Amino acid sequence: MKRARQKQAGCVVQKGTFWYVRYREPVVLTDGTVKLVHRSRKLTKVAGQYQTRRAAENLAEKTLRPLNDGVLVAESTMTLNRFVETVYLPYAERQKRRSTFVGYRNIWKRYIKPNGDKALREYRTFECEQMLTSIARKHNLCRSTLGHIKHFLGGAFRYARRQGVLDSSNPMREVEIPRARPGSDTRAYSLEEEVRMLAILPEPAASVVAVAAFTGARKGEIRGFLWEGYDGFTIEVRQSVWRNLVGEPKREKSKGAIPVIAQLKLFLDRHRARSGDPDRGFIFRNPLGKPLNLDALVREAIRPALEAEKIPWYGWHAFRRGLATNLHRLGVSDKVIQQILRHANVTTTINIYVKMVTQDAEEAMRKLESKCSLVVPQTVPQLPLETTDLGVRMRNDSTCKTLPLEAVRGNLAERGGFEPPVQVLARTTV
């Protein structure tokens, strides 16, 4: 017969000017066994409505109610560090991509572990926000990195809830990322820069850059391209390679076929002929037949060639952003760009990958000026002008002549803006 849960009222004692409650709670030990240990928790100050022991006992009953009702389980007494190391990271290793798991592990070791010695159920929104603020102050991190740390902690607490370790709400939900330095701007290669690169890079660097520029594939996807997935018209994204591990692409939606333009087909066909005309295996591979190390290719071939021509190197992802930006400048619809880049959400394509360039801004202002010319009068009453030779004010009071907008704009600039002269204000009466 199952034994009924034994409820405890606790022992309320006064120490100095505060009430404390002593009780026992189950705790999971390092060997996995559960043991009842004695605890003491501060209740409140001996003042106001809690001047009597009876009032303090009522408060103690409310404090111990989650423990008596079975809401608090022994596993929730694990420290955050122990839960992450023994429960959450093994789960992430099974469920996430290898690169994601390694990123999670690095975040925990570098930022969370020095601050994660408190029991899991003792973390509230206040403690979590204080921890994030402390991490930001100590390491001088940018907002995007702090966002990754918040995401990691939120995932750990969500998993604790799903496993029944916590019954409270996720304490990271209301945490606000502290003020921090902005992240560095991401860059996108223009079509002109890519053409210059292709003209100076040696092989196979030129072919790899052509694939990156004209497919928008991620670095791991480029390393995972196979000859059997290329038919001269399309190239299929079937897998991704991270370090020496071959796995699935970033998301299921990342799989698909990318159209191959004629210029890219020329590079790929030449690369195939130089490689012995293979019909299977990795498109870009080392002498052992393994995926080519693109980081080593950058270090040994690409960077030296670009530095000699004063072309900056922004990384492989700049080609992916460049394709989105170049297609957008050509008037391709957002949904089509999303399909080519294989994003799950079109807002990701537009807000992150499409970059505004100076030429686009100038063209947009020219379009605005052209549009305004149809609805805004092209002439305005003539303003007082100063002649450059005599320096005297001229004004035509007999006729209401007009000036073009360009002349008015230049005159206003010389006068310091749109504020009227003092003499005009002086003549104004109310």
Residue pLDDT, tens place only, 95-140: 998 889 999 999 999 999 998 988 888 899 999 999 999 999 899 8
Q: What share of the chain is helix, strand, coil (3-state, %, to 5)?
A: 50, 15, 35
Taking only the tens place, the pLDDT of each residue in 38-49 is: 778 788 889 888
Q: What Rg do the C-alpha atoms of the chain give, in angstroms?
A: 34
Distance CA 266, CA 231 (A): 13
Q: What is the mean pLDDT of the chain?
A: 79
Alpha-carbon torsion (234, 237, 242, 244), positive or negative? negative
State yes or no: pLDDT of 229 exceeds 90.
Answer: yes
Strands 393-394 and 385-386: antiparallel
More confident residue, 377 or 77: 77
Distance CA 18, CA 59 (A): 13
Count of H helices and E strands in the chain? Answer: 18, 11
Cα–Cα separations (whole angstroms), residue 162 to 166, 170, 316, 379: 8, 11, 38, 69
Distance CA 305, CA 200 (A): 7
394 band by pLDDT with thresholds 50, 70 and 90:
very low
pLDDT of residue 381: 47
Distance CA 164, CA 181 (A): 37
Could you tell me the two tokens for 157? 């607490």
Residue ranges per domain, the chain?
11-72, 80-162, 191-353, 379-427
pLDDT of residue 373: 56
- Is residue 18 packed enough to be buried (19+ CB in 10 Å), middle (13-18) or exposed (0-12)? middle
Residue 156 · residue 92 · CB < 8 Å: no
**For the domain with range 191-353, which CATH number is right: 2.40.50.140, 1.10.443.10, 3.40.50.300, 3.40.50.2300?**
1.10.443.10
Range in 63-77, 157-171, 298-312, 404-418 the model is least confident about = 404-418
Distance CA 118, CA 355 (A): 44
